Amino acid sequence: MKDSLGNVQRVLVLGGTSDIALATVTALTRDRPGVRITLAARPGDRRTAAVASLVTVGLLVTEVDFEATDRTSYERAIASVFDAGPDVDVVIVAFGLLGDQEHAWQDIDAALELAQVNYTAAVGCGVLVGQRLRAQGHGAIVAMSSVAAELPRRSNFLYGSTKAGMDAFYTGLGDALASDGVQVLVVRPGFVRTKMTAGLDAAPLSQVPEQVADIIVAGLRAGRRTVWAPSALRWVMSGLRHLPGPVFRRLPI
Amino acid sequence: MHTGHASKRLLTGWGATSPSAATVLPAGTDAELSGLLATAGPRGVIARGLGRSYGDAAQNSGGVVVDMTTRNRVLSVDTQTALVEVEAGASLDQLMRLLLPLGLFVPVTPGTRQVTVGGAIAADIHGKNHHVDGSLGRHILSLDLLVADGTIHHLTPESPVFWATVGGMGLTGLIVRATLRMKRVESAYCVVDTERCTNVDDLLERMAATDDRYTYSVAWIDCLAHGLSLGRSVLTRGSSAPLEQLPAQLRDHALDFRPRQLATAPPVFPSGLLNRATVAVFNEAWYHKAPRERRGEIQSIAAFFHPLDGVARWNRIYGPRGFLQYQFVVPFGAEETLRRCLEMLSHAGQASFLAVLKRFGPAGRGHLSFPVPGWTLALDIPVGAPILNRLLNRLDEEVMAAGGRHYLAKDSRLPADAIAQMYPRLDEWRAIVRNTNPDRVFTSDLARRLEL
């Protein structure tokens, strides 16, 4: 159970090697060691390293195999975690692909893989986790969206389109589950220096995962439904949305 | 309000933190309550009274919460023996309104009248008279407990299950009825002495020296005062007023008890309204408003015991993020710990209205009953400041190192391992619960959080 200050006892990370998710788990449990964490991810070195990084901060970590492109895999993973009890306080939906955007919009396999992972699987997991948290009568979902979900841009519109769908789904899921005591926090980070963005040029207002994590934890504890990271991006995006198309398209973003 | 139908509702404790959803059912007859256990799902059942526990004690996320306030009849009153049998959902407010005119007062009252008898037993509540009269459990002659197999057991203090239930937070079973011994009074007034204490040493000295002259004793501490004024406080102590001490104009209506609710707080207060600045101004004004020393003042029971009951839903002034109450007791001899805790609180400047300090007398027999001999400090703190976690963790360590403990009816944030250390009879209690509640049909968010 979550306590009155937002300390938690059990967390599930779908996409358990995500840098932002791991930073979020660390920030969320900073004042309360011994929290149970389950990392759902593909088996391998990255998962092993993720486990090690959380064990060193005093968390009790377990692993479960999870493959976002395989419905059976994620159904089994989610069922096994919830069935093993006790209640899961927070589920972080952190899996996602960025890919080579310029290649992806011209290649059907690459495009559909992005849609499958970032949207279809995110919806599938949201439905399953939503059912479980609803039955518990409490809990929170952190859905890792992106500012790209708010506004399609030439440079990453395929990624943006998948996140836009995912973002809309989780925003609505939050409304649907509010009366069941379940909070859904949609997170819209800007550019974050992570494994996913390695090799890309940093955009303005770029940040590290720990900064995003602090914003997520504060948002969870304040009962928010949407947060931007950095927070100022909320107003930046709002401004950009109101620019005339020809002006917007000429911006170097 | 009670429609007789099940409804899914978000519930919180009085602190308005950590909402969770449950199916709320009004308590029906004994047979219906018993039948309900058979149909309760895997998330179980907990009783709820008037929702005055600060944390998650009367919440049961995903399960059933039985609203006991529909079972609020007073079943019998014996003015000769002062024994009263009530249904568990009867409130102390109700008992005072009904029985004060007969010269009977509740044996123990907390800072609010708006608690049910069932909830009061489950928390084994204490009042300002603990140093004299102990906690509520001592005044309960018997109780009827619905246990997991659907049978109702009539329990008396000879039974270990009785004492597992007194302070057992509703987890041994569902309290249906209880018989309690009321206290005889000649009036609905108290004779009150008020003293200002310049700091914590002054306060503790006065309480230790002369508390035994009074039935009721409480000190309100300004937690923001520091340095030489650390723990400056107003000590109010009194006893039930005998008839001959009342002024003539009150004597004819000495047992009248008609407290009025002055207002209801609207849900418009933002979180953060109560901050260091606003609370410091309030505390300053309050301290200087109190007389340096005043003896023999006549106060009504409502004014002396329940000043906050004048405003319904006063918890709303803390805003939507709510607040928590931090209450602990440390044994006599741990005065240094108390002082360090006050220093930490004052240093952190966490806005707290006045904190309340009381002296506990001998412990009761409840396995999980909170009071043990010593000093108990309680303060309300708004939720929101990021430093709160660390501050309260440090206070927890101080309390535990001194052999102290927290009050389950107030707690909303302790980790599970702390409870086992604070309540050495927890395993004994668990052994009894394994009999009355083997499959954990009776459970709550508090029980889940603390792994009770």
Q: A236 pLDDT exceeds 60? A: yes
Question: Hey, is the C-beta of A86 within 8 angstroms of any chain B C-beta?
Answer: yes
User: Which residues of A, range 3-32, sit inside 8 Å of B by Cβ?
Assistant: 3-5, 7, 9, 31-32
Set of chain B residues whose Cβ sits within 8 Å of the Cβ of A3: 18, 412-414, 449
pTM exceeds cut of 0.90 = yes
Mean pLDDT of B386-410: 95
**Rounded distance between C-alpha atoms, residue B134 and residue B254, angstroms:** 26
Closest by Cβ to A31, choosing from B21, B61, B390:
B390
CA of A135: which chain B residue's CA is closest? Answer: B62
**Rounded distance between C-alpha atoms, residue B60 and residue B56, angstroms:** 8
pLDDT class of B351 with cuts at 50, 70, 90: low
Smallest Cα distance from B377 to chain A, Å: 19
Q: Which residues are CB-contacts of B289 (< 8 A; sequence separation ≥ 6)?
A: none
Task: Give me the total of CB pairs closer than 8 Å, taking one residue from chain A and one from chain B.
Answer: 80
Can you read off the two tokens belonging to residue B293? 């020393």
Interface of B with A (CB under 8 A): 8, 10, 15, 17-22, 43, 55-56, 60-63, 320-322, 324, 383-384, 386, 388-390, 392-393, 412-415, 417, 445, 448-449
Mean pLDDT of B173-178: 98
Q: Which residues are CB-contacts of B14 (< 8 A; sequence separation ≥ 6)?
A: B51, B52, B53, B54, B315
pLDDT in tens, B432-451: 999 999 999 999 999 999 99
pLDDT in tens, B327-349: 999 999 999 999 999 999 988 87
Instruction: Name the CA radius of gyration of chain B, rounded.
Output: 21
Set of chain A residues whose Cβ sits within 8 Å of the Cβ of B17: 4-5
For chain A, domain boundaries:
10-250
Do the Cβ atoms of A135 and B21 come within 8 Å? no
Q: A40 pLDDT exceeds 70? A: yes
Can you read off the two tokens belonging to residue B350? 């966490």
**Rounded distance between C-alpha atoms, residue B21 and residue A203, angstroms:** 42
By C-alpha distance, which of A161, A218, A158 is closest to A187?
A: A218
**Rounded distance between C-alpha atoms, residue B402 and residue B330, angstroms:** 6
**Rounded distance between C-alpha atoms, residue A94 and residue A74, angstroms:** 13
Mutate which of B321, B449, B450 to disrupt the A interface (most A C-beta within 10 Å)?
B449
Of the listed ranges B76-90, B256-270, B295-309, the least confidently predicted one is B256-270
Instruction: Determine the number of helices (DSSP H) and then strands (DSSP E) in chain A.
Output: 10, 7
Smallest Cα distance from B53 to chain A, Å: 13
Q: Quick one: fold of A10-250? A: Rossmann fold (3.40.50)
Smallest Cα distance from A203 to chain B, Å: 30
Q: Hunting for tokens 């805790």 — which residue is that? A: B341
By C-alpha distance, which of B157, B411, B75 is closest to A7?
A: B411
Helix crossing, A19-28 with A209-222: angle to 10°? Answer: 50
In CATH, B69-185 is 1.25.40.80? no
ipTM, two decimals, is 0.91
**Rounded distance between C-alpha atoms, residue A179 and residue A177, angstroms:** 6
CA of A76: how far to CAs of A73, A82, A131, B292, B345, in Å?
5, 10, 14, 70, 48
Mean pLDDT of A229-245: 90
At residue B207, the 3 state secondary structure works out as helix
Class of domain B189-411: alpha beta
B344 versus B312: which is more confidently predicted?
B344
At residue B350, the 3 state secondary structure works out as coil
Q: A188 pLDDT exceeds 70? A: yes
Q: Find out whether B84 and B99 touch, Cβ atoms under 8 Å.
A: yes
Of the listed ranges A248-252, B154-158, B213-217, B339-343, the least confidently predicted one is A248-252
Set of chain A residues whose Cβ sits within 8 Å of the Cβ of B393: 31
The dihedral region occupied by B170, where left means phi > 0, alpha psi between -120 and 50, and beta the remainder, is: left
Q: Which residues are CB-contacts of B417 (< 8 A; sequence separation ≥ 6)?
A: A34
Count CB-CB contacts under 10 A for residue B50: 21
Q: B224 pLDDT exceeds 90? A: no
Count CB-CB contacts under 10 A for residue A64: 22
Instruction: Name the CA radius of gyration of chain A, rounded.
Output: 17
End-to-end CA gap in chain B: 32
Q: Find out whether B102 and B77 touch, Cβ atoms under 8 Å.
A: yes
CA of B14: which chain A residue's CA is closest? Answer: A4
- Is residue A159 annotated as part of the catalytic site, yes or no? yes
So what's the pLDDT on residue B3? 43
CA of B51: how far to CAs of A126, B15, B108, B112, in Å?
33, 10, 18, 12
- Percent above pLDDT 70 for chain B: 99
Can you read off the two tokens belonging to residue B82? 């002062």
Question: Hey, is the C-beta of A85 within 8 angstroms of any chain B C-beta?
Answer: no
Smallest Cα distance from B325 to chain A, Å: 10
Q: B2 pLDDT exceeds 60? A: no
Q: A31 pLDDT exceeds 60? A: yes
For chain B, domain boundaries:
69-185, 189-411
Do the Cβ atoms of B321 and A1 come within 8 Å? no
DSSP-derived secondary structure for B217-284: EEEEE-TT--GGGTT-EEEEEEEEPPGGGS-HHHHTTTT-------EE--TTPPTTSS-HHHHHHHHH
Do the Cβ atoms of B415 and A180 come within 8 Å? no
CA of A7: which chain B residue's CA is closest? Answer: B413
